[in-house]
Structure 1
């Protein structure tokens, strides 16, 4: 059977899938990794173990007699760089993107290249410290100058994992364009600070995101892709399946609203609300907004479980109750409109209003849980609205909102989202392993003679049900 191998590397779980020519998963394995400390004691990826696992796992599937591996590609988390020397050996740990960034160095950077509002707008990157991977290289230059001198290439993680197989050091736009502070969206080139700091010579040549290189493995030539940032990869199955304008809310720890049909430049206000650009694998910016809602949900259901003396996952038993919603709207002093909400709630990594609510005000767990989701959806409404309207035309062309990930399986969230957007069709969308599938579809024409599939996505529609 002809297959493509896809490595899907998350922060915790590392996965390998084989897809057949119809993009069905025919083989898979998954392994959790434990983080290790870097030289400062901060937890980070175990790079040696990851590198070994990728090489051994590919050799394993290449040896399976029932499959003929024709290609391989990679989808990994972003905002992470591997520094390699001329021999291709890593020079440092794979530093965690949550590592605290030195305030004095950040001040030095913006004093030299700011003001901050200009550079964040030009690079479509909220100022996020280590989450701006360009600032990671800047830090390396000033904190470890000797190591910087030895640096041949700083490779984003998807391209490093690809390099392990292809030995082809490259950069590509889904990694460069995602809140890195490296890319100037006005000029469509690296920002001026990158060349001023002589960092551009340490970044590998840019190639198209759907590039491959024939590589001989076990006496057989296979097409090796250059890897993709996982958020951009997850969008590809939707772009293959739907051509009318849509917004995808990809939900997990972060809830990311992505509008690939909105080309208006980011404004300073949008950046303050944690809007950013992801990059379409064909190179166009994808206007996006982020909300830390999955994390907020995780923290609050622990609080609810403790208060009501139930299991932490009790919320999976909760069915949507429109009557409860009406009662809460009337009695809980709820934020009910976007304008009210904007004045009272901050977005992004701020918690919802629920964190300040007194749980003794709720008679039952179910009632309190409905309030939690009401508060989260109040934030989601603001966050998604930031990318719905194209500010250059002041028009909303979006006809559908798709929700994938954990909240797509949550009936309370989905019903309340449908109520929040009564003029737009709201769907729970299900794609088996969206990021991995996207990485496979990106290099379709290099390995698969069949037409691109158009039925990758399963949909379930929600409508705004209310009490008469």
Structure 2
């Protein structure tokens, strides 16, 4: 029996935990998902169930190794970021996996910035807006000052992707995609850990840094496997695009947050950009990726619920509204909707001004695209980007995509789709370690949207 060579990818989100097997053409040939009930930390705050996660890893591997049709050659991990697992000398966790949403003590944060300079300048240097527990380096600072006896026992602080890898390899490493993602640990000016990391005794708790395509050979269930060190999910999702496209591009990743990722913008982060919610990531090759964020997905959800309630429809209706290029010019003639020559922000509009919910929805998307242009331009300026790829929920929204194409009339706008981009990226990162075929060039399905400035949110 000829067994299919595959790579196993564990994709661990806050809610869903998934296992995928990809064949050498990067098609998913097996998938499994699970959910775990959260536990609480010593303060009663909800957090990840580490023991359930560990047990599920080994249980899932035992299951897939029984599938005789597959030859598992490699394993990698992609997980959410901003979460440390503190392990002791015996490799066991010393604390719960503290939730990055847990409120950070205000006094402790004030003390930190008082020691290490102006908050805005520090945030610029580390490309890390002051986000409390979302700055995972500050979680380590908190542990040292609130639980010094536990801190003293920490052998290594591992971000969650690297902890999952450690469970199989027993090798502690740090990964640049996790270290470089709003952790407040990395000095982007000097491309090294920030001075505070050593001053606070944090550096010695961090494992040696490995490149993202490194592997460790592991014997498991009688098989020799190449096990990756794991990736931060935002960086993993960018990998298929970097692998397939070499001309400068920007990726607009849409969901609850709409994140503009420009891997071709290497300009240092400015204070103004930071104030406008820009930050920098490090990609899997260690290069900076400038990013800007907008809470558009959440706003879309809130406003479509408002529309559904007023027009007595279901929110699902707004996933499939057809684009009508005549609506926005017509709305611009309605004095109830216009101020200073442009449409009012949608949240300020009385819905009685619309004839129907299709008109109202076009106004909502117009407003979101108008904000998106401002956000994306923060990372586009000064670069040679000629293409924008849009993935996630808004890539399937005809109203959004047509308006975005109109707004960026000098750029090529594509809706991009691929199955499980984050997991796919984690698989591609290890391509040379398991896959004897060339990397496919058709991993990403693209749909081009022609620009028509007649209904551009930046022109009308």
* TM-score normalised by structure 1 residue count: 0.93
Superimposed CA distance per residue, residues 126-169 of structure 1 (whole angstroms, 9 cap, x where no aligned partner): 11111111111111111122211121111111111111111111
Residue ranges of structure 1 left out of the alignment (5+ in a row): 345-352, 391-395
For the residue of structure 1 that corresponds to 2:210, the secondary structure is: coil
CA RMSD of aligned residues (A): 1.7
Q: Is the 8 A contact 2:135 2:183 kept in 1?
A: yes
For the residue of structure 2 that corresponds to 1:224, the secondary structure is: strand
Matches of 2:191 and 2:397, distance apart in 1: 39
Q: 1:39 aligns with which of 42, 51, 69?
A: 42
1:438 aligns with 2:428: no
Q: 1:221 aligns with which of 216, 219, 224?
A: 224
**Size of the alignment, in residue pairs?**
450
* 1:95-134 mapped onto 2 (5 Å cutoff): 95-134=98-137
* 1:49-448 mapped onto 2 (5 Å cutoff): 49-331=52-334, 332-333=337-338, 353-390=345-382, 396-448=383-435
For the residue of structure 2 that corresponds to 1:322, the secondary structure is: coil
Change (3 A) 1:214 1:282: same
Q: 2:7 aligns with which of 1, 4, 8?
A: 4
Q: Is the 8 A contact 1:240 1:453 kept in 2?
A: no
**TM-fit CA distance, 1:254:** 1.2
* TM-score normalised by structure 2 residue count: 0.94
For the residue of structure 2 that corresponds to 1:101, the secondary structure is: coil
Change (3 A) 1:196 1:447: same
* 1:10-21 mapped onto 2 (5 Å cutoff): 10-21=13-24
Change (3 A) 1:465 1:35: farther
Change (3 A) 1:322 1:30: same
**TM-fit CA distance, 1:467:** 5.7
**TM-fit CA distance, 1:328:** 2.6
Q: Give runs of ≥4 in structure 1 deviating > 4 Å.
A: 334-337
Q: Is the 8 A contact 2:165 2:228 kept in 1?
A: yes
For the residue of structure 1 that corresponds to 2:217, the secondary structure is: strand
Change (3 A) 1:163 1:140: same
Residue ranges of structure 2 left out of the alignment (5+ in a row): 456-460
For the residue of structure 1 that corresponds to 2:93, the secondary structure is: coil
For the residue of structure 2 that corresponds to 1:270, the secondary structure is: helix
Residue in 2 that maps onto 1:393: none
Change (3 A) 1:204 1:131: same
**TM-fit CA distance, 1:9:** 1.0
